[in-house]
A and B are shown apart, each in its own frame.
Chain A
């Protein structure tokens, strides 16, 4: 699909429909026969963007992506003959779009601080020149997904210009190395007797997944620098995760932490029906932070989609599709893409709102019956894949969806339908958040089906014994939970010393390892090496402590030992302090034996 391509209808006379009914974001029009489902249309004199969602005779029901106040029955509906699509090409990175890919900075320049209706601007800058370097020669045969050339997008990303899906032929001509805008023709392909001129930009309908060669299983973890995630509930490259939690439990902070520190090449961050001030925060903060792996700023690998809660609800529904289509485009270049959708519940609610206006028969809690299939369609666009094109490259999309269950009740439809699809579940817990234990991921409820993949990766690339340590850690936390039940019934004084030690262990794990302060300069990110070092230190202390208890040392003595406080400072230690801190801990561990004499 190439830009400006119209379907084969140009010979027929262009007819316009007429609005016959307006109710909120839903508009009905007649005289629409010949329209296709999900075709994009311009509604009313203001030319509001809409999409056809029901066809009945010559009537069409349209969901409108902008505020419909002032629309009058009788105004025209103009067809575009194209499905709702996004523009893909150099210039996406570092840009903030709304749910239907309008560049918000451009809209700001045009219509001021408030988004006025009918504002529009091309998604990609038409005048900016990019330095293009060809990668094919005239005479070569190319097919979909093949790399014609590349440009540098900002500084960090090499943006490959690919032959669009469905296009192939022999390269008749290709421009030389030089500066071009995205609409300049860069190559002409000859297919049979037909010549096709290609530019650096292509369009793709958002509701349709871009083709891949083959889907592959995830093989390595997606590291996040968040200790509880990487160690206990890892995500894989090409995997899917859901992060449900009541308000105030830190969903957005976790999502932003992932967007900052995850080891992916490209980040797509979708603010779907969330707060405007949070988007402003991302816009201000990300350009000041550096990717620990590449040294470039975090904003130079990110595309931001912001459809805040007060922006039109239908565009909110479209925003996740816009986001994942852009993700697929970068995946097709061979990149590892991570997509954060905050929050998928707002997306589901947008579906519910539209469905209610259509007077459809509701499913559970008023959500439409197709909720689960829409969620599945979306998450299924994640994955590690072998790409189309002759290079046989690989790429991946990992999707992390936040869920906002009403009243924090995980039995509600969006959470439940999401859990049926995703492989990782990070359950956020209000009680932990109240104690300011962040990230407030509940270790007893959460799970990851990628533990096996991650475990062997850690053993092979970081250090031996990881799987064992993790297993023990889970057992300690589980046992702590049981002991707390007992304490609640009979009180703490009856506990034997061995159980008291277990409680101390659990406390150290919780407070010194699982808890991680996102706003501390160093604690915000812990690389795998440091995580492993922390784990081995903690667990060799545990071993020593067990033998010490047997020889008569009390848990009270251990608790007052300076090592406990040192553990608590491991996370926030700077790389310079780290070495001496770990040395001091090693010394402490050796000294535990001497406590005996002090009894």
Chain B
């Protein structure tokens, strides 16, 4: 098609992040529009709805300064694409994939649609390689597996960034040396937060293996809708074309959803829960489901999305829908944080759905699953007793109850708690776990087979505990 014929001036309406162009012809759904402002600036937009003569466009960098007289719109005739190259490693881009590190444009090895296509379920390989993050509360209780999507549910003021950077720094598959890369997408986080990540990557030497896409808090909100897609398209290229194991950190998904809501409101769509649009599940799934492994290909995409739960409410639509899509979640607790425990992982609501396939003999250790189950049930019992003690006081507790209370405290201070630079091996984690289980009487370990108890249990019969 002749390029000039696809330039229009018929902007008839501008509202919020949206604009309507009349008198157009043959505009495709999802097509990219270049909007040429009277001042000479060019912005990018995307077609949300198209009819025979009219197109509705969302403008990624905002509609300020648009007018209905002089503004010109050129339609590119193709959906949003990104230039990809392995030279992107070590580079920093803004939320629309423009370089902001002073370097030149990426010389493309490949150009791809940022929306991608769904991975054929028949092509997926079930993830089974457990990643050692060096963090006991994850490795021991909710093991991360290569190709998994495991979000961190956090709250304002909790150390989720510290935890994410510790995972990025320490994550490894034991006994394997493979090509590793980090893709980091910031959506509406502050300059300070993003500077923290960059510094962390720099110090650990990971920066040269990292691609950063930064849409910061003062960048246009609507751009946040494409930022994670740019990051994931890059990750797919590095993983499935270049055979790298890519860790994708997306933060903060709550801001992303706010942007979706903003557009839905501007379009006057029927709102679902808390004003979020009805398609938010599908939309989030189109991000999260881009994690995984593909049969016969080297690389993998592991996702750690971070989201802050408004008012620490896990039933808020963003964490709720995320939890339904991702393969588990790591939940941070304000209470543990106040107690000074780092990482303040609230073990009970945490889950790793892919753990089962990644642990056990030959992967982590044969007793892993049973130890995990026993720790869970013992800790849950301790927590329940604690809430009872808070009301009733300690009298009336049986000696066994006291043991559980002691276990519960030690579990938090010795097992969950660790330094932000402490890198524990799976063996370290299990050895702490057995130290703690040995605080309980042997007969209480109902979820562990006799053979493992004989091998690892070192408490005195009757549960009198030794050591400090």
Kindly list chain A residues whose C-beta atoms are within 8 Å of the C-beta of B315: 406-409
Is the CB–CB distance between B28 and A69 below 8 Å?
A: yes
- The residues in A between 515 and 563 inclusive whose CB is less than 8 angstroms from any CB of B are 517, 519, 556, 560
Kindly list chain B residues whose C-beta atoms are within 8 Å of the C-beta of A280: 121, 124-126
Q: Which of A116, A247, A277 has the largest number of chain B CB atoms within 10 A?
A: A277
Is the CB–CB distance between A277 and B327 below 8 Å?
A: yes
Binds A, one of B14-22, B274-282, B403-411, B428-436: B274-282
> What is the CB-to-nearest-CB distance from B363 to chain A, in angstroms, rounded to a whole number?
14
Interface residue A158 (Cβ < 8 Å from any Cβ of B): no
Kindly list chain B residues whose C-beta atoms are within 8 Å of the C-beta of A273: 281-282, 285
Q: Which of B122, B278, B294, B447 has the largest number of chain A CB atoms within 10 A?
A: B122
Name the CB-closest residue of A to B391.
A488
Complex Cα gap A172–B11 (Å): 70
B124 touches which of A277, A430, A517 (Cβ 8 Å)? A277
Kindly list chain B residues whose C-beta atoms are within 8 Å of the C-beta of A283: 121-122, 126
Complex Cα gap A271–B289 (Å): 14
Name the CB-closest residue of A to B127.
A277
- The residues in B between 13 and 69 inclusive whose CB is less than 8 angstroms from any CB of A are 25-31, 48-52
Chain B interface size range: 35 or more
Is the CB–CB distance between A365 and B292 below 8 Å?
A: no
Kindly list chain B residues whose C-beta atoms are within 8 Å of the C-beta of A564: 443
How many residues belonging to A are interface residues under a CB distance threshold of 8 Å? Answer: 81
Is the CB–CB distance between A430 and B349 below 8 Å?
A: yes
Binds A, one of B84-92, B94-102, B172-180, B316-324: B316-324
Is the CB–CB distance between B126 and A281 below 8 Å?
A: yes
Is the CB–CB distance between A74 and B290 below 8 Å?
A: no
Name the CB-closest residue of A to B316.
A407
Kindly list chain B residues whose C-beta atoms are within 8 Å of the C-beta of A96: 121-122
Is the CB–CB distance between A23 and B349 below 8 Å?
A: no
> With A353-B278, A407-B315, A487-B388 in contact, do A69 and B79 touch (Cβ < 8 Å)?
yes
Complex Cα gap A281–B293 (Å): 12
Kindly list chain B residues whose C-beta atoms are within 8 Å of the C-beta of A70: 28-31, 78-79
Interface residue B269 (Cβ < 8 Å from any Cβ of A): yes
Interface string of B346-377 (1 = CB under 8 A from A): 00110101101100000000000100010011
Is the CB–CB distance between B271 and A275 below 8 Å?
A: no
Interface string of A277-296 (1 = CB under 8 A from B): 11111011100000000000
Complex Cα gap A276–B290 (Å): 9
Interface residue B270 (Cβ < 8 Å from any Cβ of A): yes
Binds A, one of B111-119, B195-203, B334-342: B111-119
B377 touches which of A407, A409, A436 (Cβ 8 Å)? A436
Interface residue B109 (Cβ < 8 Å from any Cβ of A): no
Q: Which 8 A-B pairs have the closest CB atoms?
A: A407-B315, A309-B285, A69-B30, A310-B289, A247-B323, A493-B396, A114-B117, A280-B124
Q: A407-B315, A434-B380, A556-B398 are in contact. List 20 more A-B contacts (CB 8 A).
A: A21-B50, A23-B48, A69-B28, A69-B113, A113-B294, A116-B117, A248-B349, A276-B124, A280-B121, A280-B124, A280-B126, A306-B122, A349-B281, A366-B273, A434-B348, A435-B348, A436-B373, A436-B376, A491-B396, A519-B356
What are 13 contact pairs spanning A and B, CB under 8 A? A22-B29, A23-B49, A104-B120, A273-B285, A277-B327, A278-B353, A283-B122, A309-B281, A311-B118, A313-B279, A362-B270, A366-B270, A366-B272
Binding site for A on B (CB under 8 A): 25-31, 48-52, 78-79, 113, 115-127, 147-148, 240, 269-273, 277-279, 281-282, 285-286, 288-290, 292, 294-295, 297, 314-317, 320-321, 323-325, 327-329, 348-349, 351, 353-354, 356-357, 369, 373, 376-377, 380-381, 388, 391-392, 395-398, 443, 446-447
Binding site for B on A (CB under 8 A): 20-24, 28, 67-74, 96, 104-105, 107-108, 112-117, 246-248, 252, 271, 273, 275-281, 283-285, 306, 308-311, 313, 346, 349-350, 352-353, 356, 359, 362, 365-366, 404, 406-409, 430, 433-437, 487-488, 491-493, 511, 517, 519, 556, 560, 564-565, 568
